[in-house]
Amino acid sequence: MVLSFRWYGASDPVPLDAIRQIPGVRGVVSALHDVPPGEAWTADAVVALRQRVEDAGLTLSCIESIPVPEGIKLGTGARERLVETWCASVEAVGAAGVPVVCYNFMPVFDWTRTSLHRPMPDGSEALAYVEGELAEVEEALASGGLPGWMDAHSPDDLRRLFAAYAAVDPERMWDHLGWFLERAVPAAEAAGVKLALHPDDPPWPLFGLPRVVTSASAFDRVCDLVDSPANGVTFCTGSLGADPAQVAGLSAAAARLAARGRLHFAHLRNVARLGSSADQVAEAERPGRDFTETAHPDGDVDLGAVIAALQGAGFDGPLRPDHGRQIWSERDDPTVRPGYGLFDRALGATYLLGLWEAHAR
Ligand code: DNO
């Protein structure tokens, strides 16, 4: 495996030099963050990104992400043109020699939390999701007081998108994903790139929008839609592990998908269902799907078992820690991207490296 770290490019307050100093980290996961979604990437621009990463003594192990435009997910008349552009970007990535592209098929919003600064018992802060707080988020959406992770859309855009998605039920969403893969997978094959679809985070419908990539069995269905080694997944333990019904089955699912040759990228992070022992909040107070992110060794996901499963299947792709808590001097630092500071992700990386080495013996 290639232990990797996400880097948001030149504007990331975490510099490549710092990433280089994390023990065991050799790969960087990044994207052309300055190219507007829907515009084709060029090979020259990807090569320049790769060069910058290599100049820092690292390798560009994965692109995360090339955003899929809403017109494709909605199945509008513009989708032919939009998918051509998306495939051109994949071609550029392949021409620049980067082996994996992570993407997602979530309508309107990428990962969704109700709090970016939930105080933890140890004085750190973490991202959290509490169903009882969703109404506040919806109000903020309507008024334009958008939380940071949602600011890609104006309130008018959102109203238009919500109205358009009202006509898309889950089976239509699957059709749209199938239509997309029928075009994207051959392009990826031709470019020598593996596609790695990220699951919806959290893995259930939100705000009445159709979200379908919500389980390991949905991943199987994705792999069946177009039967090619280029059509694979990003195995994100924090996304799928937020579902209490799935958390115990994660290592078996990782083993199955990796043995199938479709697990192309691993996001290993941890979550605790609020009410579970790691969080020590009374179950009765917060039933259901509420969860908080945790330090990598804590939480409900058995990351050691997932690592053992990946090793058992001979996984050799990029693997990265994911969201960290805000700890130490990053806790009150407004320049830190919630979830994407340096410190706790670096601790997560060394924990994953330790697990990997321990299981390799
Ligand atoms: C969250 C990430 C996601 C991921 C995209 C992939 O931090 O895992 O934002 O990058 O969903 O397209």
> Atom 2, ligand 1: which residue's CA is nearest?
111
Cα dihedral 45/46/47/52 (nearest 10): 90
Q: Which of 102, 180, 323 to mutate to test the pocket of ligand 1 (most atoms within 8 A of CB)?
A: 102
Three-class SS of 158-215: HHHHHHHHCCCCHHHHHHHHHHHHHHHHHHHHHHCCEEEEECCCCCCCECCECCCCCC
Indicate if ligand 1 lies below 6 Å from the C-beta of 267.
Answer: yes
For residue 176, give both structure tokens: 């749209």
Length of the chain in residues, anyone?
361
Residue 275 near residue 290 (C-beta atoms within 8 A): yes
Ligand 1 within 6 A of 198 CB? yes
> Ligand 1 pocket test: which of 104, 149, 233, 293 has the largest number of ligand atoms within 8 Å of its C-beta?
104
Q: Is 237 in the pocket of ligand 1 (CB under 6 A)?
A: no
pLDDT tens digits in sequence order for the chain, 361 residues long: 999 999 999 999 999 999 999 999 999 999 999 998 889 999 999 999 999 999 999 999 999 999 999 999 999 999 999 999 999 999 999 999 999 999 999 999 999 999 999 999 999 999 999 999 988 888 887 777 666 666 678 888 899 999 999 999 999 999 999 999 999 999 999 999 999 999 999 999 999 999 999 999 999 999 999 999 999 999 999 999 999 999 999 999 999 999 999 999 999 999 999 975 555 555 455 457 899 999 999 999 999 999 999 999 999 999 999 999 999 999 989 999 999 999 999 999 999 999 999 998 7
Ligand 1 contact via 104 beta carbon (within 6 Å)? yes
Helix axes 216-225, 250-259, angle to 10 degrees: 20
Let me know if 163 is exposed, middle or buried by CB neighbors in 10 A (0-12, 13-18, 19+). Answer: exposed
Mutate to test the pocket of ligand 1, among 73, 111, 293 (most ligand atoms within 8 A of CB): 111
Ligand 1 contact, 37 CB (< 6 A): no
Burial of 105 (0-12, 13-18, 19+ CB in 10 A): buried
What's the confidence (pLDDT) of residue 286? 47
Distance 282 CA to ligand 1 centre (A): 30
- Which of 110, 177, 180, 337 for a ligand 1 pocket mutation test, highest count of atoms within 8 Å of Cβ? 110
Q: Which atom of ligand 1 is nearest to the CA of 64?
A: 10
- The torsion angle over the Cα atoms of residues 116, 119, 124 and 129, rounded to 10 degrees, is -40
The pLDDT assigned to 47 comes to 98
Our mutation pick for probing the ligand 1 site, out of 198, 240, 271, 340, counting the most ligand atoms within 8 A of Cβ, is: 198
SS3 for 139? Answer: helix
Q: Which DSSP string corresponds to 274-340?
A: BTBTTTT--TTTS-TT-EEE--TTSSS--HHHHHHHHHHTT--SEEEE----B-GGGTT-TTSPTT-
Distance CA 34, CA 46 (A): 12
Residue 146: the pLDDT is: 64
pTM over 0.75: yes
Q: Scanning the structure block, which residue is given the tokens 């992770």?
A: 149
* Residue 136, pLDDT score: 87
- Domains annotated on the chain, with CATH: 2-108+170-270+300-360 (3.20.20.150)
Phi, psi for residue 149 in degrees, rounded to 5: -75, -5
Q: Please tell me the predicted confidence (pLDDT) of residue 152.
A: 73
- From the CA of 195, how far away is ligand 1's center (Å)? 14
3-state secondary structure (DSSP) of residue 30? strand
DSSP state of 44: H
Question: Is the CB of 295 inside a 6 Å radius of any atom of ligand 1?
Answer: no
Whether ligand 1 lies within 6 angstroms of the CB of 30 is answered as no
Phi and psi torsions of 94, nearest 5°: -65, -45
Which atom of ligand 1 approaches the CA of 239 most closely?
A: 8
Residue 239 Cβ < 6 Å to ligand 1 = no
Q: Is 246 in the pocket of ligand 1 (CB under 6 A)?
A: no
Q: Which has the closest alpha carbon to 86: 34, 122, 38, 153? A: 38
Distance from Cα 315 to the centre of ligand 1, integer Å: 21
